[in-house]
A = this chain, B = another copy of it.
Amino acid sequence: MGPEEALDRLRALGFDEGDAQTLFDHFDDAERRGKAGHGYSRIEWLETLPDVDPSARPVRELEAPGFERWDGAGALGYLTLRAICDATVARPPDPARVVVARHCFPTGMLGHWVRRLADAGLVALLTATSPPRLPHPDVGPPLVGTNPLAIGIPSEDGRPIVVDVSMGRVTYGDVLAGHASAEDLVPFGGDQAHKAFALALGLQLLVESCAGEDYGAFLVVVDGEFSPSDFRERFPGLRLPGDS
């Protein structure tokens, strides 16, 4: 599937031009970053889902100083996170805000969203839950999602740091794209896989505590007072997270 076909198939699912473009931008970004599991293959996957409502719109249901709670209200998680990013850039935190999103799935490549915030000069930490796919390292069935943690750090040179770490050895997207088998979906870390499992569990219960037990997202955005902008000098010549 090429870019044109991708956009056409999103329109054919009933999304309006703005939402089709938002979804395309995410999938295309993933393709260009070599994360095919979050790329165009997800359009074929969306076409198989029985209850996608292309007209659904996320709702900001609670707004307090330093806190917002949104509800996907039937919209795809991608569109909910895009709406949150847009609202955050339009009205930045002063200096910090926690944003919780309920009924927010799928959320895709979380680095895509924190990059957007970093491009607007905002520091962000984002996690989101997904279906249980990772078993406890000792034994048993899948218990927790791959629950990635993404961190975006603005940079004056336009090359933000974008960390985006799934707690799985592979992603479910890798499995969907045929790049890995379901048996590879275990916490990463080898003989220290208990660490990635613990992070996945902690992040999952953090989200559930704030967003309920349906899939959700938890975002912290800060208008950072200090700018560790020398980080490329501190790490000379190294490929840093988010570099293309």
- The residues of A with any CB-CB pair to B shorter than 8 Å are 64-67, 94-98, 123, 125, 136, 138, 140, 143, 149, 151, 153-154, 161, 163-165, 169, 188-192, 195-196, 198-199, 201-203, 205-206, 208-213, 220, 222, 224-228, 231, 234-235, 238, 240-241
When C-beta atoms are compared, the residue in chain B nearest to A127 turns out to be: B125
Check A208/B228 contact, CB under 8 A, given A96-B66, A151-B202, A163-B199: yes
Contact B140 A238 (CB under 8 A): yes
Chain B residues with CB below 8 A from A165, complex form: 195, 198-199
- In angstroms, Cα B96 to Cα A153, docked, is 22
- In angstroms, Cα B94 to Cα A240, docked, is 37
Determine which of B138, B149, B206, B224 lies in contact with A210 in the assembled complex, contact meaning CB atoms within 8 Å. B224
Chain B residues with CB below 8 A from A201, complex form: 161, 163, 240-241
